[in-house]
Amino acid sequence: MAGRIRTVLEMIKFEHSVFALPFALTGALLAARATSHGWPTLRQVLWIVVAMVAARSAAMTLNRIADVRYDKENPRTRSRALITGALSVSFAWTFTLLAVGLFFVAAWQLNPLALKLAPLAIVILFFYSYTKRFTNWSHLFLGFALGISPAAAWIAITGGLDWRMLILSGAVTLWVGGFDVLYACQDVEFDQNAGLYSIPKRFGIAGALQIARVMHVGVVALLSWLAFGFGLPWPAWAGIAVVAALLAYEHSLVRADDLSKLNAAFFTVNGYISMLFLLFWGAAAALWRV
């Protein structure tokens, strides 16, 4: 059993929880500082982390179940556990349902509104897995699935929602959508043969890179709007500058005629972006006079 759990965590790239979790924690910090001039309790932070990790684990496992047919046909994904037989589909379903159950427990431990909205969150997360079957803009659905995390964290802390958190949700949506467009450039030929939809398939790799750049410019614009709207101090603006610099570096690694550095752009740079964003905005929250 322990071996199969390790295999499923490897399959869903469990370590990539780092992408969205820092934005959720940033939402929690801003919520506590803005509403009570304090900080999230350790209990709240614990259950937010549990909810985030459980929800992502469920969504990613469902994604692998939904894509078994395509993963079997795609040379890039034939080594995944459900294809090689290292895991059974029934075990993957069991893991998904247990993760969903843990997510509901975490929502229940946070507050009544979080629990009421938990089913909607699961629907959003699971819906993404099927969007590339009918729309070129599935990347934005993935972005939105992660983008709801800071708004959800605000709800977890306060039991309500400040509309300004939707700005951060929009920034995360564009950030994730943009780097998913980059990642999808690897599968243009397969998507064409399999009848799947994507921005690189619709607009070509060069066009997709341009669209991803526009999305990431939008990230910087939205973060600036949010920092201004909350009146955050200088570390927030320094964090925006760092995010902008790392996004620019990410795009410098990828060209239409050279995708060889795509994994470095996708994994390493985006991990730094999320962690440094939390660091700088956490510092801004500490200095924030609310």
Which domains are present in the chain? 2-287 (1.10.357.140)
Taking the C-alpha atoms of residue 154 and residue 174, their distance in angstroms, rounded to an integer, is 19
| Tokens, residue 50 | 């549990």
241 and 223 Cβ atoms separated by less than 8 Å: no
Instruction: Using alpha carbons, select from 196, 61, 178 the residue that is nearest to residue 126.
Output: 61
Burial bucket for residue 193 (CB in 10 Å: 0-12, 13-18, 19+): exposed
Instruction: Using alpha carbons, select from 288, 25, 290, 8 the residue that is nearest to residue 172.
Output: 25
Look up the pTM and report it. Answer: 0.94
Burial string for 89-102 (b: 16+ CB within 10 Å, else e) reads eebbeebbeebbeb
What is the full per-residue pLDDT of the chain (290 aa) written as tens digits? 666 667 665 666 656 666 788 999 999 999 999 998 899 999 999 999 999 999 999 998 999 999 989 888 888 878 888 888 888 889 889 999 999 999 999 999 999 999 999 999 999 999 999 999 999 999 999 999 999 999 999 999 999 999 999 999 999 999 999 999 999 999 999 999 999 999 999 999 999 999 999 999 999 999 999 999 999 999 999 999 999 999 999 999 899 888 888 776 677 888 899 999 999 999 999 999 87
* Non-local CB neighbours of 72 within 8 Å, separated by 6+ positions: 78, 83
